[in-house]
Amino acid sequence: MAKKSFPKPTDSELEILQTLWLTGPATVKLINEKLNEKKETGYTTTLKLLQIMHEKELVKRNESERSHVYSANVTEDDIQKSLVDKLLETAFSGSSAKLVLHALGNSDPSQEELDEIRAYLNKIAKGKK
């Protein structure tokens, strides 16, 4: 089965998607308020980004109310998989090991994260037998 491909969101589009994944469907005003908690973003900039994202099918728009309500049209998991797949191919020549080793070498994972990684690796290893 072929993987569904998604357009790669820009950093600003990804911030909007993260907001929608956390809050659920929202108006431009609410999305803009949430974005402004992190950095100053103009209302018209947020509106234009949402219009572009709608054209790219990253978000859906409900036009039944006076204020349009936007919702994510892609899941967080789908976007993460798409971005990691692209990074894996372009920066690590398809080597999962290089990607994982590089990611772990550049961070300081907690014991809980290491336990989670170890459990996942054990699960994969059992499936290969």
Smallest CA-to-CA distance from 73 within 25, 1, 33 is with: 25
In percent, how much of the chain has pLDDT > 90?
75
Does residue 113 register a pLDDT over 60?
yes
Q: Is the pTM of this model over 0.85?
A: no
CA angle centred on 52, ends 21 and 80, rounded to 5°: 40
Over residues 13-27, the pLDDT tens digits come to 999 999 999 999 999
**In this structure, is residue 101 part of a structural domain?**
yes
* Domain, as residue range, for 111: 92-128
Say which CATH number the domain at 67 has. Answer: 1.10.10.10
Q: Are residues 58 and 6 in contact, defined by beta-carbon separation less than 8 angstroms?
A: yes
**In this structure, is residue 123 part of a structural domain?**
yes
Domain count, the chain: 2
**In this structure, is residue 81 part of a structural domain?**
no
Last residue of one domain, picked from the residues 42, 72, 102: 72
Over residues 58-107, the pLDDT tens digits come to 999 999 988 899 999 999 999 999 999 999 999 999 999 999 889 888 88
Smallest CA-to-CA distance from 30 within 2, 58, 57, 65 is with: 65
Distance CA 18, CA 20 (A): 5
DSSP secondary structure letter of residue 64? S
User: What is the SS3 assignment for 71?
Assistant: strand
Q: Are residues 54 and 16 in contact, defined by beta-carbon separation less than 8 angstroms?
A: no
**In this structure, is residue 2 part of a structural domain?**
no
